């Protein structure tokens, strides 16, 4: 169920990118899509009532492996969030410069290129 | 195998040193000259390392952590061939930038972004780990988004934003696909995943992730119908960056990564890509015919020539893959040369419109001569390199029982020839306009760099000789063909 909602979030983001006319809304769509994927990665490693993946000397390794959440997706998602931040920051920066040049955020009016 | 780690570390270190210099040194002239020297030395060293690496396969675990716990970098024939191409073109592009980038302010920012892009590309070629592949793709992409908008004019920003949105969607798809593979197998190492896939059944989830990978890398490689960003982004960038983007970036992030993942990890059938290749060849060249902006015309030709590479690789036969990879190397050489030439023309004339040029051979003989060589190469005229690779692709089409594909490839080649006849006629032959009489040849470093590439255009046609082919191209073809055998190079 929660995976379906995750996919729904992804599709909402994709819809925002494809169908919105405003640059800011496109950026928001991108952020939503990015976070849907991040959420998905976290869900992969999730385990109900799991413990933090820190191995203590007093714990038994096999019992630990059965009850802890998977630390790998958490490491991955940190990197993915940082990358997403970089892309978003660059997008917003370019967006501000576009506003300086064109005086609008409407993509139907920003059409100097034929594409 | 330690030599390969320098291909990632050198440009990464260089990028940060140049960025730090930018903050530390006050005088702009000193800053520009030091960043010129550092960047050129680094790319020269890297081209040296990459060109002497043929035949040295193997893998290296970063930080001494063994696979599958640690991250490893792996080099086989395919990556080595690509590394040699990427770093050679990068050296020519930085050599060219010494003079060309004088028109822009903040040259040192340019070099730091350029070296970061190079780090990303070398990382993609060497990574043996799926998530690291994604990280390096993002490093290369983000710096290329910034480089496309480097001039901060209205068109450049618009192109950069468009490229950024398309590239961002592609990257998200890649991340999602990597996450799906991790959830299925619990490892991220490419070799381990490849072994796991070869013994598992093809579940719908795996097919979905393969589909995501193909869509994402098609966007990065600008295969039609995913090409919309390329004709805007490549002309908007400064000339050496266009040369890098069109010459090697779309091949590294697009074709290399796609081939590696489809052929070596999924060991899947690639014949579905052949129609996409044909459509790219024909539509790309037809759209190019109508252009009058020089760089835009070249950009559409990139779409078309990438179609040839995809067509060759998607045949799946040894000859087809040989042709595809050979064309990949050749295309990166002559397309960078063409973009650098268009930059030289724009540097002296201040325009890219073909209608405003004419007779430039009289005042810019080196630029004219080298662009003539490049035009003949891309159009597939003997004895230049483009002829041999296109011939191999066409022969491979016939040999594998697809004469129809061969026919389309020949038609595309003829249209390419006609469109480059147009470039030559409008820009370099004909009557020289009165106002252009005073124009001088491009500056020294720019001329040296285009001459190196023009010599390479002729020299790489020697790769068809069996002795040279066995050292350079054959290992790459074997690596692609080995399928899941890729896993064996990881110790």
Residues A97 and B268: their CA atoms lie apart, in Å, by 44
Q: Please count the other Cβ atoms lying within 10 Å of the Cβ belonging to residue B431.
A: 8
Answer whether A35 touches B (CB < 8 Å): no
Residues A23 and B359: their CA atoms lie apart, in Å, by 44
Q: Chains A and B: how many Cβ contacts under 8 Å?
A: 88
A90 contact residues in B (CB cutoff 8 A): 142, 145-146, 164
The C-alpha angle with vertex B333 and arms to B436 and B80, in degrees rounded to 5, equals: 155
- Residue A16 in domain: yes
- Residue A107 in domain: no
Phi, psi angle pair for A114, to nearest 5°:
-85, -35
Q: Give residue A83's domain range.
A: 2-102
Residue B73's H or E segment, with its range, is strand B72-75
Residues B369 and B337: their CA atoms lie apart, in Å, by 11
Picking from B58, B126, B55, B57, the residue whose alpha carbon sits closest to that of residue B472 is B55
Picking from B130, B168, B121, B15, the residue whose alpha carbon sits closest to that of residue A85 is B168
Per-residue pLDDT of chain B (491 residues; tens, 9 = 90+): 778 889 999 999 999 999 998 888 888 888 889 999 999 999 999 999 999 988 888 788 877 777 777 788 888 889 999 999 999 999 999 999 998 988 888 888 999 999 999 999 999 999 888 999 999 999 999 999 999 999 888 888 999 999 999 999 999 999 999 999 998 888 888 888 888 888 887 788 899 999 999 999 999 999 988 888 898 899 889 999 999 999 899 999 999 999 999 888 888 888 888 899 999 999 999 999 888 888 899 999 999 999 999 999 998 888 999 999 999 999 999 999 999 999 998 888 888 888 888 788 888 888 889 999 999 999 888 888 989 999 999 999 999 988 999 999 999 999 999 999 888 888 888 788 777 777 888 888 899 999 999 999 988 888 888 888 888 888 888 888 887 777 777 65
Residues B321 and B20: their CA atoms lie apart, in Å, by 44
> Strand locations in A1-115, DSSP E?
none
Residues B306 and B237: their CA atoms lie apart, in Å, by 19
Q: How many domains does chain A have?
A: 1
Residues B201 and B199: their CA atoms lie apart, in Å, by 7
* Domain containing residue A21: CATH number: 1.10.287.3510
Picking from B365, B263, B369, B373, the residue whose alpha carbon sits closest to that of residue B310 is B263
Kindly list the residues of chain B whose beta carbon comes within 8 Å of any beta carbon in chain A: 131, 135, 138, 142, 145-146, 149, 152-155, 157-162, 164-165, 168-169, 171-172, 175-176, 179, 182-183, 188, 228, 231-232
- Residue A111 in domain: no
- Residue A41 in domain: yes
CB proximity under 8 Å: A 40-79 to B: 40-41, 44, 72-73, 76, 79
The SS3 of residue B31 is helix
Distance of CA B197 to the CA centre of its chain: 29
- Residue A68 in domain: yes
Cβ-contact B310, B276 below 8 angstroms: yes
- Residue A114 in domain: no
């Amino acid at each position: 169920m929660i995976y379906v909602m995750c996919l729904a979030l992804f599709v909402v983001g994709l819809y925002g990118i494809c169908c919105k006319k405003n640059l800011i809304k496109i950026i928001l769509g991108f952020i939503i899509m990015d976070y849907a994927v991040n959420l998905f990665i976290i869900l992969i490693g999730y385990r109900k009532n799991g413990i933090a993946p820190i191995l203590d000397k007093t714990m038994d390794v096999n019992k630990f492996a059965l009850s802890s959440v998977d630390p790998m997706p958490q490491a991955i998602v940190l990197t993915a969030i940082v990358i997403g931040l970089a892309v978003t920051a660059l997008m917003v920066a370019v967006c501000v410069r576009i506003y300086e040049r064109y005086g609008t955020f409407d993509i139907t009016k920003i059409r100097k290129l034929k594409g | 195998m330690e030599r390969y780690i320098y291909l990632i570390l050198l440009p990464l270190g260089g990028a940060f040193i140049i960025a730090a210099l930018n903050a530390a040194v006050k005088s702009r002239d000193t800053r520009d000259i030091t960043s010129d020297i550092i960047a050129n030395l680094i790319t020269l060293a890297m081209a040296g390392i990459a060109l002497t690496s043929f035949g040295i396969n193997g893998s290296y675990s970063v930080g001494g952590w063994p696979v599958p716990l640690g991250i490893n970098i792996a080099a086989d024939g395919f990556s080595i061939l690509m590394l040699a191409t990427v770093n050679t073109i990068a050296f020519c592009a930085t050599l060219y930038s010494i003079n060309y980038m004088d028109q822009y302010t903040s040259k040192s920012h340019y070099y730091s972004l350029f070296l970061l892009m190079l780090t990303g590309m070398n990382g993609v070629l060497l990574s043996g780990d799926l998530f690291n592949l994604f990280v390096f793709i993002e490093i290369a992409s983000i710096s290329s988004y910034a480089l496309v908008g480097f001039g901060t004019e209205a068109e450049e920003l618009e192109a950069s934003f468009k490229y950024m949105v398309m590239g961002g969607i592609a990257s998200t798809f890649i991340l999602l696909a990597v996450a799906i593979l991790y959830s299925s197998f619990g490892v991220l190492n490419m070799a381990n995943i490849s072994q796991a896939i070869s013994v598992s059944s093809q579940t719908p989830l795996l097919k979905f992730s393969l589909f995501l990978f193909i869509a994402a890398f098609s966007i990065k490689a600008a295969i039609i119908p995913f090409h919309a960003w390329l004709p805007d982004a490549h002309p908007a960038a400064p000339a050496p960056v266009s040369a890098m983007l069109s010459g090697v970036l779309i091949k590294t992030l697009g074709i290399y990564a796609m081939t590696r993942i489809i052929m070596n990890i999924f060991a899947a059938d690639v014949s579905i890509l052949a129609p996409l290749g044909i459509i790219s060849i024909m539509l790309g060249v037809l759209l190019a015919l109508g252009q009058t902006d020089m760089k835009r015309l070249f950009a559409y030709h990139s779409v078309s020539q990438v179609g040839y590479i995809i067509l060759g690789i998607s045949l799946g036969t040894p000859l087809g893959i040989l042709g595809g990879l050979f064309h990949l190397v050749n295309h990166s050489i002559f397309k960078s040369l063409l973009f650098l030439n268009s930059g030289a023309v724009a540097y002296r004339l201040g325009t890219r419109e073909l209608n405003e040029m004419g007779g430039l051979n009289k005042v810019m003989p080196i630029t004219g001569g080298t662009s003539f060589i490049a035009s003949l190469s891309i159009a597939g005229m003997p004895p230049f390199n483009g002829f041999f690779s296109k011939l191999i692709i066409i022969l491979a089409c016939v040999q594998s029982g697809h004469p129809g594909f061969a026919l389309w490839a020949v038609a595309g080649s003829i249209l390419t020839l006609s469109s480059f006849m147009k470039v030559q006629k409008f820009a370099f032959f004909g009557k020289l306009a009165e106002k252009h009489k005073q124009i001088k040849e491009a500056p020294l470093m720019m001329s040296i760099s285009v001459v190196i590439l023009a010599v390479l255009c002729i020299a790489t046609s020697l790769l068809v000789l069996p002795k040279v082919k066995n050292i350079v191209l054959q290992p790459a073809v074997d690596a692609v063909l080995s399928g899941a055998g890729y896993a064996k190079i990881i110790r």
